[in-house]
Amino acid sequence: MKYVSTRGRTDPVPFKDAVIMGLATDGGLLVPQFIPDVGNKLNRWSSLAYGELAFEIIRLFADDIPENDLRRLINASYSTFADSRVTPIKKAGDLYILELFHGPTLSFKDVALQLLGNLFEYILAERDQSLNILGATSGDTGSAAIAGVRGRKNIDIFIMFPEGKTSPIQERQMTSVLDANIHNLGIDGSFDDCQYLLKSIFSDLEFKEKYQLGAVNSVNWARVLAQIVYYFSSWYQLDMPARFDVCVPTGNFGNIFAAYLARRMGLPINRLILATNANDVLSVFFNTGRYARGDVRFSHSPAMDIQVASNFERYMYFRFGESGEKVREFMDAFNKSGKAQIHLNTPEVDVLFRASSATDAETVECIRTTFNSFGYLADPHTAVGLHVAGKYIQKDIPMLCMATAHPAKFPEVVQQALPDTWIGHESLDLLKDMPTRKENLRADIDAVKNFIISHQRISD
Ligand SMILES: *Cc1c(COP(=O)(O)O)cnc(C)c1O
C-alpha cells in the first residue's frame, strides 16, 4: 500500500514513511492510494480476538512491516488495556455504547497512540534515526501521546496545549510525566492557536527536515488506521447485524473518518451520525454545505472545542473523487476567507451523514437522565453523542455510540449533572500528589521553534 497527499503533489510513499512523515510535504494529509474491500473476509474474522482482528486489518495498509513484527507491535499496544475485549460494548436503554477509554490515559486516543508509540520506536530503530515529535492537544491527545512514547530512547516529544483551557486532570496527566524526553508547553492561546502553530512549523520544510519532526496529531495516518479496527470489532460484538448506525462525538473528524473508511471497506454501517458541541462547524456543513470557521467556544466537552478539523481534508479528498486539485481549491478558498461552500449530495457520499449538536445544558441533562434511567455514567463528550443519537435512532437498527472518555476525567461536569455522585479512578487519584513540570510559551512560531532547538537532542 502506498500513500499520497490529499493535495496531490507528492510522490507515493510506503506506510513506514507515511508514519514518520506525518503531514505530506505539500501541506496536505496522507491517504491510502486505494481502500481495500474486505467484504468477503467479514465472516472469516468473526471469532478473532481484538489483537488478531487488528492485525488482519492493519496489515492491509502496512504491508512493508513483516507480519510477525506487526503482530508483536499490535499485541504489545493492546496489552496495556484494562478490558480483555479492548473496546467493550455496554447498553443504556436502546443505545449501544462502545467504550473506547480502557487504555492507560482513559480516553479513546490511547487506541491509536499506544500503537503509534510502538510503530515509531520500531521504525526508528530499524533506520537508526531519531525523531522530535511535535503535537498540539486540547487535552486528551497530549497525555495519550506522552503515554505512548515516554522513556523511549530515540524520541523527544513536545506537546503544546492551551494554557488553562484543558481540565486540571488532563493537565496533570501530561505534566506529571517527568521522563527526560517529555516536554510540555503551555501556550498562551486557544487550541486552534496550537493547531495553527503546529501546521506552520510543519510547513517549514527546512526546519522539519533539520530537526526530524514527527506528528502524533490525528494528521498521522496510523492513528486513523488504528481507529478503523474498533468499528469492525463492535460489529462482531453486536452479533453482525445486517446494518447499524454509528454516532460519533466529533472534534478533529478523526474518529468518524475511521468509521467512514470502515464502511467503504465493506462494514455494513448504515448512517454516520456526527455529534458536535457548540463548535458546530461540521454539523452546519453536513446540513447546509457551508464550511465556515468562527471563534472557538469553550464547552463542557473541551476535546471537541475545535473550529478547524484537521482530518476533514481527508474526507474532502474522497468527497471530491480523489482530486488533489479540487482539495487545493477548496482549502485555498477556506484558508483565504475562512469559509467555503460546496453543493451537497452530488456524489453519493454526504447522504450517509447526519449531523447535529448539543449545548452544554443538553450535555449535562443527558448525563443526568442516562444515569438516572439506565445507571450508565457518561463523560461529557460521550453525552454529546448520546444526546444526538437520541434524535436519529430508528426502530430495528442498532445505534452504536462512541464513549470517548472515562467520566472520571471530567468530574466537575459529572458533579454538575449528578451532585450526589462522585466518580473517581485510581490512576487519576494517584496524580494528585505527583510533582509536575511544564514550560509556558507565547503563541508564537519562533518561541516554539527556539524551545525545540534548545531542548532537542539531535546533533548537527
Ligand atoms: C479527541 C476526542 C474527541 C474527538 O475525536 P476526533 O477524532 O478528534 O473527532 C472526542 N472525545 C474525546 C474524549 C476526545 O479525546
The predicted-structure confidence for 201-247, as pLDDT tens digits, reads as follows: 988 989 999 999 988 877 899 999 999 999 999 999 999 999 999 99
Which position has the grid cell 525523531?
A: 131
Whether 109 is a known active-site residue: answer yes
pLDDT score, position 53: 98
Round to whole Å and give the CA distance between 385 and 357.
8
From 381, 386, 406, 410, give the residue whose CB has the most ligand 1 atoms within 8 Å, as the site to mutate: 381
Q: Which residue's alpha carbon is nearest to atom 8 within ligand 1?
A: 252
pLDDT band of 89, cuts 50, 70, 90: very high
- Do the Cβ atoms of 118 and 62 come closer than 8 Å? no
- String of b and e for 90-105 (b: at least 16 CB within 10 Å)? eebeebbbbbbbbbbb
CB of 96 closer than 8 Å to CB of 89? yes
Q: Which three cell numbers stand for residue 184?
A: 510540555
Of 51-65, 183-197, 347-361, 416-430, where does mean pLDDT reach its minimum?
347-361
pLDDT band at 386 (very low <50, low <70, confident <90, very high): very high
251 ligand 1 Cβ < 6 A:
yes
Mean pLDDT confidence for 246-268: 97
pLDDT in tens, 138-166: 778 899 999 999 998 899 999 999 999 88
- SS3 label, residue 329: helix
Q: What average pLDDT score do residues 86-100 get?
A: 98
Q: 1 is written with which cell numbers?
A: 500500500
* The model's pTM: 0.94
Grid coordinates representing 50 are 481484538
Selecting among 2, 16, 90, 109, the annotated active-site residue is: 109
Q: Which residue's CA is minimally distant from atom 15 of ligand 1?
A: 140
Return the best residue to mutate from 106, 107, 194 for the ligand 1 pocket (most ligand atoms within 8 A of CB). Answer: 107
pLDDT band at 346 (very low <50, low <70, confident <90, very high): low
Question: Percentage of the chain with pLDDT > 90?
Answer: 82
